Chains A and B, each alone.
Chain A
């Protein structure tokens, strides 16, 4: 049982490039989330989804997009990478026993 799987683990992007952070879960949870973690700032919610086909903005959605075509997958898209998007990104799901986080993607924009 893999839980929440994020790929890639690390990535370096140049300013203006685009990329998709992948998140897949095998727990059949409806709720999925994307957070970013910056040093000393805790985790900030970027986007979330309450089920396939339904997404909504969190606290810091600017510069990101998401889609949820299946229960399992919740990719996060960066269209024009900026240095301010350098961070560690975590995907999470919510089930009856709380939230389960993936191991994160460390993104550096240079």
Chain B
């Protein structure tokens, strides 16, 4: 069963715009929420992560917003650039275990 639901499946954003990818989780026993960026032919690479005791984390142009009561978290990419074109995965780690549950991914394309 899918415990982390990610949307949209694909996203096209103009250069300079804001890219927003959303994830929702069902299991409340998650304690770590990372986002991964994957380029074709490469493995996923950690982009940014958040723990549920904070509502927002920002690193450069990338921001995670976290809504614990709604069980939702999102990735915002400000001033999107063509180099940001990649597939993005959200994930969640269960409390007391070492396994990540991944969303289904969002293919982001930044157009000039």
Contacts and interface: CB of A to CB of B under 8 A. Distances in A.
Contacts, number: 51
B98 A48 contact: yes
B61 interface: no
B103 A42 contact: yes
Nearest to B4: A42
Contacts of B42: 103-104
A94 B98 contact: yes
A31 to B, nearest CB: 5
Interface residues of B, number: 20
A42 B102 contact: yes
Interface residues of A, number: 24
Contact of B34 (A48, A98, A103): A98
Interface in A59-101: 90, 92, 94, 97-101
A42 B35 CA distance: 12
A65 B26 CA distance: 30
Contacts of B83: none
B105 A40 contact: yes
Nearest to B6: A42
Interface string B86-112: 000100000000111011110000000
B43 A104 contact: yes
A45 B44 contact: no
